[in-house]
Structure 1
Amino acid sequence: MDGHAWAKEKGGESSTDGPKARVIPKEVVPAIHVRGIQNISVDTAVSPMPSNVEELVALMKQPASKFTHGDPRDLIRIRPRPLCNICYNLDANEAPSNSSAWAQHEYLIPPGFPAAHIKITVAEQLLKAARLGCVTCAMVAAALGTFVPGWEKEETLVHIFTAPDLPVVVRLLYGSLSTITTSQSPSEFGWAWPEGAGMEFEIQVTVQDPTKQPIEFEVYRCQTPLDQLTVGDLVTGEQIKHIGTASCVSRHAASLGCFQFLKNCVETCMLSHKCSFGGHPPKLPDRVIWVTAPGGIRLIETTGQKKRAPYLTLSYCWGPVSSSTFLTDASNLQTRMAGIIYTDLPPLLQDVVDIARLLGIEYVWIDRLCIIQGSSTDFARQAPKLGSIYGNATLTIAAASATSENDRILVARDPKWETFDLNINETTFGKLHFQIRRRSQLLGKEREGGDYGKVSTRAWIWQERMLSSRTVFFTESGLRFECRAHSLWEGFGEGLRGPSWSAQLDSVSQAGWMGLVEEYTRRDITRASDRLPAMAATMRRVTKARGWSHLWGMWADVPVDTLAWQAVKYTGIHFKHLCTVRPGFYAPSWAWASLEGPVSYANVKDMDTVNDTKVEDLEVKRWDLPSGVIRVAGRIITRMIRCEVSEYPGAPAIEGVVEAEEEGLNHRYTMVGLVLRQPNDTSEGMPIIPDAALKPWTGIINGETVSTVIRVPHGDPVPEKSWAGECICMMLIRQKLRCVVLLLGRSRRVPGTWERIALVFGPDPACWEDAPRVVLDIA
């Protein structure tokens, strides 16, 4: 490859948004000296051997573009640096333990791609290696000092993630590595062991400082123009050629570079991928905003016109709704259709109009303007069309940096995301030139859907992203493009792409859907009644792709696993109910949608990771969609729930972990007679996490006096005194050493049926050895 080809491959355009320069000080990195010319080899068949060091230095300082003997890297070589046993020269092929999992989660790379996760547990090890001459340890230390001055004076851990042709990611954790030695049965880790069995083992765990969040940044080689490169730059660059390249991110979201990036992403997708429905312009939604209409902007109706054209959709947080909120309702519909003055639009919508015009797109669909607000009839007509509205759009704009319509997205980038130059001067040949920048997403976060601010907390926006063929996130740190083929951050290296989070619907597995439900239930929604409608179009898309039958947010095709959700445990000091019962009836008790709050499938997914066959013990015999009642067959036992209520004095906040906890009541729930195999769990009963707050109830159902345990209805007070009540336990899934159990109480809403009150993971299956198998209905 000649010098010009090399420059073209690495990118030859300079950026007007140049990085800030930082040269590693001498006290951090010792000078790299040449020991005569013994470290250099020159192909004398092609180039005459320099007679002394001065001639060699002059040769290395020549512009690379004027080198007349071919590619200087083929002619002049520096001996490889000695392998550093701390950073392994940031070379994945040299690191002792390779793991490509992190790289495959973050980038589209082939299976078996070499990647390494290097852990440095003592900061002084890194600094000592840098003082002894390790260039890459010095680079990492200097980069850490740029973002976290004084990091080496605290108890920290440094993790380095490296792979060929990828930027090096450095993670700084506050904490230490601790080794635990034990000879007890490790039930506290959720492992079930045969009675009396045990083993001695050691576990290394990272003990993090809960008050300080991890920090990640990436180091990469620069895409330097050919006319700025010297022969020495190319030759010394061979020492770190395995480190990937990237480019600067524009400092303003309205820059020409941002729009060029966005335009290229959309055009590449439309020409090369199959992300859109059909190969022709889409049919416009029933109403759209015409941003290039004669005389300005106006709302138009296209019903019955079959008009086809590219259009944008907007995904954003509405923010508080007031009398001044810009929307369309029955009172102003005709006014909106007559014309909309640009300056009357809120700042966010002005930016969306500007983006559409710059991209040459005439139409925009915005829910607040194109669905008549306050009209249940129009919402009912438009809601089933959301899948096609977002799926057919040329592009969805996700206003990640905005919290309401009054925030702009075409703004200057926050200074903390600036790029810095990192130059390691080599006294004889030239310099090693890197750039460093802080990462806005920790490694692995993209796999969970990413954290893009307020838009990542809203349930409706979850669906909008799932349905869109192409989405661009306007974040504080840069643009992120996602289609159903790949994802791409502004500033990624040439050809570097990431997986698409939204594409998983096309081939989603049951385990994958469980993960999506977990993410969805963590999101906020204004109206509890919207929880199922806000994912209905997504479920229809899965039905179309997988052929599954959906009801109440769950799948009839995998009934047992889909029933095995559990309320998320509170991470604070005392017990706190994170899920609450919704007002009215929105879903049957066996569906997670009957509650408002986060749920988890972690326990049932964990059962698939151990060498213990999972058996479905419960059989669903009938689903009744209109009533929400399911008929099941399974083994049951009757047990007592105890709830101990005590006063809680409160606790101060722990920054980054929990908020301050006011004094109040602490509820501790246990199941009497339902135990783990470990004998130490029998004394006080088995702790349980109920779906929501529970209470005992006695009343008349079908003429019979019944005592049972129920979820505390919406608006009712939670018991302030300790209590005990009876329920039935129905085995859902079993393994040899543990099982998953549904706890059920009598239903007051549908007489003759039962309602779910909790799911328990881990009891001993031996409790059901003599249990009868019965058929009952759960409402």
Structure 2
Amino acid sequence: MPLTRSLRQPHRRSTTQIRRKPCQICHNLNPRGHPSSVYSVESEEAALASLSLVLDSSSLAKTKDTQEGGCRFCAVLCQALDAFSQGWRDTLQRVNVDLKEKGTIKVGLDANRWKGERIEIYAGSASRAPWPTLGTTRHIPVNSGSDDTFNFARRCIQDCMTNSKHVACKLPSRSSAAAPKRLLDVGRVTAPIRLIDTQGKHFEYAALSHCWGAGPALTVTKLNWKKLASSIPFESLPPLFQDAVVIVRQLGLRYIWIDALCIIQDSVRDWETESAKMGGIYENSHVTISATSSGDGTSRCLLDRRKAVKLNYQNTTGKEAAVRARKIEDHHPNLAEAEPAKPLGRLATRAWALQEHVLSTRVLHYTGTELLFECKTSYRCECTPGRKTYPTTPALIPRAIAKSSKTHQAIWNAWHQIVEQYSKRDLTVPTDKLPAISGIASRIGMATGSSYIAGVWENNLASDLLWSTSLTTLPDAHYFALEKYRAPSFSWASLNAPIAYHNLEEHERETFTPTISLISSSTTATGLNPLGAVSCSRITLRGPVVHAMLSSMKREGMWEYTLAIKRTSGIIISHDSLLVEDYIPASDIPRKTVRRAQCGDKPSDFKTSVLCLGVARQDSWISGLVLGLSQRGRESYERLGTFSAGMEAFENAYERELEIM
């Protein structure tokens, strides 16, 4: 007779069965069996799995110690974060964990404090993995001046020089116009370092890309030029320059170009002459040494890297297994988005350095974690040393030119991409805004044959004029106009703010129709570089215009500006900066207008007449510029922002010629 249900012995799961249940927080760091697991082929049994987890930092930090019955996999994550992201336990952040079967584990935090930094967890032994899905990784030398790192650099350069597929990497035909006037002859260890005048001759040289910081301890001037041409003691060089000399010698080169020592710093004429051809100097160099992680000349690029740490981990039998963690940077190219590598460091925030990066033929990036190599064809790094034909920054313009057979659209897209990145970077000298990108502008001009107007191109004028600021924080210094003139209001260079373009998809561009025509333009350069700094620039356009009332309102701490046009509802504009009402002096009654606010102005409510110029149509929409009267010229206008509205807003528009300054 069977036992009744109440008398049966309850079924107990074994401890082994209990342990097999994945942790609800970290899923035992197993990419398989999770609802969000992704398998590379249809059969899950034979496929490699991947999984991305988003964990709450506070929940992870509160997990019990393994000795108290806590999850040993969560403990691995906590140990790695404690080692490389100190203070993470006190922040309310998301912890992003990327798992890949037979691969390493990548851990990152959302906070800006650790932006771009990741932790890599891996098996310390390839033969005995601590758990089946964890893989090992490639060794990275603990010093950037190690023999292994120099061997890697030499292999990368040699392969680029000899590979028949690297057609874009062949140096352009050299002209004396692009040759550096001076070079540093580093000779050999037993020979003196000295500054030489190239006298128009061509030399094989390296170029240094670096942050100035407060300024190098040693620069060339009118007074010390002759002394430096005789001999420069190695010990007198700033630490970063010393490292650059060591790298040049290790690469088997003899000469290097360093701006601080090859341009006479107290000569305006010499600086304008040499800086104007800086793009050619970097493009024609054998290799560019990029001191990516160095903040100034006192920060070396040949230094010890942060060592990997051993994590405490015991398997189910209580036996210790080799688990390691190290700090890495999220620098790899993004193939899905066709984005090039992103070397992280202080140099990546400097405006001049972008031009040096874009125009160089080959670059060695000395970052805080490893050495990266880029050329106009491929990308490699110490953690992924195999040759890859990934998109690279030096390849950006050459590839765009190659794609532009009938139209130059790919080149204009590349220009927009570069300017967007450039506008986010910092300048020590504000007036360098246009000079620091003039080398790139020169390449764009040669490829398109277009005239350059202080940051915008005549042959792509409608698209170039429709840039907008991309600020999302509360008002700060970036929201104000410059106190001193640097560029015309229609140019992005007139502001210290990150900007963005409305880049259209291929099918969208078919309906994009400019509604303006350029009547005339004039630009006055302040120096010897025709694509550099300007003292005045203006354009005269013909296009459809309507009058509108622009009103201001503060909403949730942010100023908002709205256009009122007949037969339309209010149109919120994308304003270039904070705006204020002002008056234009006149012989009879001063005329009211709106202008960009300067630091010290007090923004307030206003409702003032402005002019709207339609720049381009797309389907049933029209986009254009919001303009206010300028105080710089009679009946001239200055840009205040951009708008986008339905075509009904321009039903009563009329054609007019107007000058924008």
Report the TM-score when normalising by structure 1: 0.66
Question: Conserved in 2, the CA contact under 8 Å of 1:674 and 1:764?
Answer: no
Matched, 1:271 2:154: no
Please show how residues 313-328 of structure 1 align to structure 2 within 5 Å: 313-321=207-215, 325-328=217-220
Where does residue 517 of structure 2 map in the other structure? 620
Matched, 1:594 2:488: no
Shift of 1:422: 7.7
Matched, 1:477 2:369: yes
1:518 corresponds to which of 393, 417, 420: 420
Where does residue 182 of structure 2 map in the other structure? 287
- Name the amino acid aligned to 2:195: L
Query: Residues 88 and 144 (structure 1 numbering): CA distance in 2 closer, same or farther, change over 3 Å?
Result: closer
Question: Conserved in 2, the CA contact under 8 Å of 1:167 and 1:220?
Answer: yes
Query: Residues 591 and 448 (structure 1 numbering): CA distance in 2 closer, same or farther, change over 3 Å?
Result: farther
Question: Conserved in 2, the CA contact under 8 Å of 1:287 and 1:302?
Answer: yes
Where does residue 43 of structure 1 map in the other structure? none
In structure 2, stretches of 5+ residues that fail to align are: 1-13, 41-46, 401-409, 525-536
Number of residue-to-residue matches in the alignment: 602
Where does residue 663 of structure 1 map in the other structure? none
1:728 corresponds to which of 597, 611, 624: 611
Matched, 1:459 2:396: no
Question: Conserved in 2, the CA contact under 8 Å of 1:729 and 1:743?
Answer: yes
Where does residue 749 of structure 1 map in the other structure? 632
Distance 1:526 1:83 in 2: 53
Shift of 1:122: 6.8
Question: Conserved in 2, the CA contact under 8 Å of 1:312 and 1:395?
Answer: yes
1:393 corresponds to which of 270, 285, 289: 285
Shift of 1:537: 0.8
Query: Residues 219 and 720 (structure 1 numbering): CA distance in 2 closer, same or farther, change over 3 Å?
Result: closer
- Name the amino acid aligned to 1:170: V
Question: Conserved in 1, the CA contact under 8 Å of 2:248 and 2:256?
Answer: yes
1:629 corresponds to which of 532, 538, 563: 538
Where does residue 151 of structure 2 map in the other structure? 260
| Relative contact order higher in (CA < 8 Å, ≥ 6 apart) | 1
Shift of 1:298: 0.5
Where does residue 190 of structure 1 map in the other structure? none
Matched, 1:359 2:251: yes
Question: Conserved in 2, the CA contact under 8 Å of 1:399 and 1:474?
Answer: yes
Per-residue CA deviations over 1:326-382 (Å, capped at 9, x if unaligned) read 111111111111111111111111121122222222111101111111212222322
- Name the amino acid aligned to 1:308: F
Distance 2:523 2:631 in 1: 18
Query: Residues 422 and 488 (structure 1 numbering): CA distance in 2 closer, same or farther, change over 3 Å?
Result: farther
Shift of 1:460: 0.8
Distance 1:31 1:365 in 2: 68
Question: Conserved in 2, the CA contact under 8 Å of 1:32 and 1:426?
Answer: no
Please show how residues 197-212 of structure 1 align to structure 2 within 5 Å: none
Per-residue CA deviations over 1:60-119 (Å, capped at 9, x if unaligned) read xxxxxxxxxxxxxxxxxxxxx99999869866999867599xxxxxxxxxxxx9995634
Matched, 1:302 2:239: no
- Name the amino acid aligned to 1:345: L
Question: Conserved in 2, the CA contact under 8 Å of 1:637 and 1:768?
Answer: yes
RMSD over equivalenced CA pairs, Å: 4.6
Distance 2:218 2:313 in 1: 51
Where does residue 249 of structure 1 map in the other structure? 140
Identity over aligned pairs, percent: 24
Distance 1:31 1:263 in 2: 56
Where does residue 557 of structure 1 map in the other structure? 459
Question: Conserved in 1, the CA contact under 8 Å of 2:359 and 2:440?
Answer: yes
Question: Conserved in 1, the CA contact under 8 Å of 2:597 and 2:603?
Answer: no
Distance 1:450 1:361 in 2: 27
Question: Conserved in 1, the CA contact under 8 Å of 2:331 and 2:343?
Answer: no
Question: Conserved in 2, the CA contact under 8 Å of 1:645 and 1:720?
Answer: no
Question: Conserved in 2, the CA contact under 8 Å of 1:299 and 1:338?
Answer: yes
Greater Cα shift, 622-631 or 751-760: 622-631
SS in 2 for 1:261: helix
Shift of 1:774: 2.9
Shift of 1:591: 1.0
Query: Residues 277 and 213 (structure 1 numbering): CA distance in 2 closer, same or farther, change over 3 Å?
Result: closer
Matched, 1:696 2:592: no
Where does residue 11 of structure 2 map in the other structure? none
Shift of 1:173: 4.7
Distance 1:31 1:290 in 2: 72
SS in 2 for 1:626: strand
Greater Cα shift, 587-596 or 279-288: 279-288
Where does residue 504 of structure 1 map in the other structure? 396
1:146 corresponds to which of 80, 87, 107: 80
Matched, 1:170 2:63: no
Greater Cα shift, 451-460 or 281-290: 281-290
- Name the amino acid aligned to 2:648: A
Query: Residues 692 and 158 (structure 1 numbering): CA distance in 2 closer, same or farther, change over 3 Å?
Result: closer
Question: Conserved in 2, the CA contact under 8 Å of 1:727 and 1:743?
Answer: yes
In structure 1, stretches of 5+ residues that fail to align are: 1-29, 34-80, 101-112, 175-209, 649-665
Distance 1:533 1:381 in 2: 11
Report the TM-score when normalising by structure 2: 0.76
Question: Conserved in 2, the CA contact under 8 Å of 1:144 and 1:151?
Answer: no
